[in-house]
Amino acid sequence: MVPPLLKILTRKNWAVKDVNRKGGAMVPRPGGPVILAGIILSEISLYFLLPHNSHITKGITALLATTTISFVVGFIDDRKVMGGWFKPLALVVAAIPIIVLGAYEPNLDFPLFGDVKIPALYLGLILILIPITGNTINSIDVMNGIASGFMTIASFSLVLVLFILQNYSVAIMTLPIALTSLAFYKYHKFPARIFPGDSGALTLGAAYGAIAIIGRVEIIAIVALLPAVINSFLFLSSVKRIVEHRQIKRPTVLQDDYTIAATKEPDAPVTLVRLLVAAKPLTEKQIGIAIFKLAIFSGILAIITAIISGAKL
Amino acid sequence: MTNLLLFAFIGIMWVLMLAGGGILVTMVSKITISGYGDEMDFFIASVIKAIIALVFVVFWIVILSKLKNKIFQKQLKP
């Protein structure tokens, strides 16, 4: 589906400059529509293939509704740059279908120690989790292939986690997110032929958050996202406010040899990439590989967490 | 070196998450209140648990922030 979208985006001149590329090539954006289409078509197919029960019906419907609303939020931001608070607040709306359809259980499972029943608090948690996962993936979409590659690793880790926990139907529901991320990565990896844009990153992040809630693996899902969570944490603790990333100073600079180095600007935000290039400048490809290694490490920690969850203390 | 520090930071976050969850499940969730009627007892206990959980979250963020400054001291210097 990407090649036809590329043609449409190129014809409409919807492209942005790849600032880290030699010559600053214009790259079509957003790839969100194909990401959304990939998830919707696969989930609808699964709906007809999986055995029919209310858990699966509610789960797939909530996942599709949350994902679609998140895409719309991202697409608005792709076309018109909104303020820093727009996406977190608008993504709260994307979480509402999960509550309305009752595609959750009000128990929060803590690995090793068991679960706690928190009916009222859990509703607040749902409203917070979707904006967190959506914006976390969006904030790591800083270079060619990173958001889609990272989501591929995190989603496949989550599939394994759900299989280990014998939550087979939700594990199968997670596969479209992992496979869509992988398929998009083919066009997004360095040198990127398309960017996902906010619509693509928010769609993937919100879908992942919805699966975490529907599959009752909220904590383990966050473990698999830790490198992206660290990136958001570093950013927020240095900027100390919620702000649109296009409104702040760049944390890195492109050098003459096309390697990326940490900026010397004292008030530029601290990010994962800035830390990675702090010791020595790296190429965009090397930065991507370093982040994928961190994602694999977090994925392994998530799988270990799922395995030890079986042994309650 | 920075890469190793990042792996260590992720490991520490993981341990803190598991430990925080353990404290919440084994201690905080067991809190009960009595003497105000069943519904009020449940409500007051829930509010107390929610406040403790929020305090834990803030505490967790402060610890992480301090750890971040300590671990990445050299890298964070402009």
The whole-number average pLDDT for the span B53-71 is 83
DSSP assignment string, A65-77: HHHHHHHHHHHHH
Using a CB-CB cut-off of 8 Å, the residues of chain A touching B74 are: 278
The winner for highest mean pLDDT among A17-31, A174-188, B3-17, B50-64 is A174-188
DSSP state of A282: B
Q: Is B56 at the interface with chain A, CB within 8 A?
A: no
Residue ranges of E strands in A230-273: 252-254, 260-262
Task: Please answer yes or no on whether B10 and A227 come within 8 Å at the CB atom.
Answer: yes
| Whole-number Cα distances in Å, A72 to A1, A68, A170 | 19, 6, 24
Task: Please answer yes or no on whether B75 and A278 come within 8 Å at the CB atom.
Answer: yes
Q: Å from B36 to nearest chain A CA?
A: 20
Contact A175, A183 (CB under 8 A): no
Nearest CA in chain A to B10: A226
Helices (H) and strands (E) counted in chain B, each on its own, are 3, 0
Residue A246 reports pLDDT greater than 80: no
Task: Tell me the C-alpha distance between A93 and A26, whole Å.
Answer: 33
Residue A174 reports pLDDT greater than 90: yes
Task: Write down the domain spans for chain A.
Answer: 2-239+284-312
With cut-offs at 50, 70 and 90, classify the pLDDT of residue A14. Answer: confident
Contact A209, A174 (CB under 8 A): no
User: What rounded mean pLDDT belongs to chain A?
Assistant: 88
The winner for highest mean pLDDT among A37-46, A102-111, A112-121, A239-248 is A37-46
Nearest CA in chain A to B43: A120
Lowest average pLDDT, out of A140-144, A206-210, A297-301, goes to A140-144
Residues 6+ apart with CB under 8 A from A282: A259, A260, A276, A290
Residues 6+ apart with CB under 8 A from A190: A143, A144, A145, A284, A285, A288
Q: Å from B3 to nearest chain A CA?
A: 7
Task: Write down the domain spans for chain B.
Answer: 2-73
Residue A311 reports pLDDT greater than 60: no
Q: Is B17 at the interface with chain A, CB within 8 A?
A: yes
With tokens 């803590």, the residue in question is: A110
Residue A201 reports pLDDT greater than 70: yes
The whole-number average pLDDT for the span B48-59 is 85
